Structure 1
Amino acid sequence: MKPQTAAKKLGIYLPAAPEEFQQSALTHDEFNELQHTPPEWLQELRRTGPHPRPVVAQKLGITIAALKRNDMDKALTTEEIKALLEDQPEWLRKARTALAQQREEQSEGSEG
């Protein structure tokens, strides 16, 4: 498995991973080992970031498209995400509300 694929599946930002991880392909057994018993570097990266766009969007409760529209289409640390959530700019409040409404409409549509 290519490092880029492994990073995506692990939910980590590849450029922040150790050089050894970035440069070598993984077998499925090695990948499974990382998932089941993550080394300290992986635990720390998941805890503090920087996080890739899908993780940033999920933690902020918005879509990746909303990140792009607001020039926030970049890796952010956990601390940066917390700061945005604590003092939400207008664009973030609107994006969070829009996604919540969209999800609510989808769940209502699936109940009928």
Structure 2
Amino acid sequence: MTSHKTTVQTMKPATAAKKLGVYLEATPAEFQEGVVSRNELNALQTDPPEWLTTLRRNGPHPRPVVAAKLGVSIAGLARGGMTDPLTTDQIEALKTESPDWLVRERATQADVRKEAARIKEKNAERSSSSSSS
């Protein structure tokens, strides 16, 4: 038995901001104070207004976006003392400066990715050999 969606699904602004990849405190007041329906979120994603385009381009960016742009984990940002949202210019400056913590965290992240790929490959081999038996 499937349930029909009779009510409009809504989400808190923080959830919508997270799905849009933007820092909530930098969004317009009307976005922060309201609720966002699933249809409104889809509309924002497919045809972003100027404020959203500008925010995505220039920031300030939330930690997950900062971490991705720097090529480190969110925990790596914290270890590096980076707890505040950063603008695109600040992120680019960090990349240029390449402080020791950033070099170290990028190396750590590269090791994590290599290990994840190794495990995935090992599991794929195990899966293919068990299915051919």
Normalising by structure 2, we get a TM-score of 0.82
- Deviating runs (4+, > 4 A) in structure 1? none
Letter aligned with residue 13 of structure 2: P
Paired residue for 2:60? 50
1:64, CA displacement in angstroms? 0.6
Structure 1: tracts of 5 or more residues without a match? none
1:13, CA displacement in angstroms? 0.1
Structure 2: tracts of 5 or more residues without a match? 1-10, 123-133
| 1:46-89 deviations in Å (ceiling 9; x for gaps) | 00000000000000000111111121011000000000011100
Paired residue for 1:4? 14
CA RMSD between the two structures: 0.7
Paired residue for 1:94? 104
Q: Percent identity?
A: 54
Normalising by structure 1, we get a TM-score of 0.97
Aligned positions, number: 112
1:30, CA displacement in angstroms? 0.8
Paired residue for 1:24? 34
Aligned equivalents of 1:84 and 1:27: distance in 2? 37
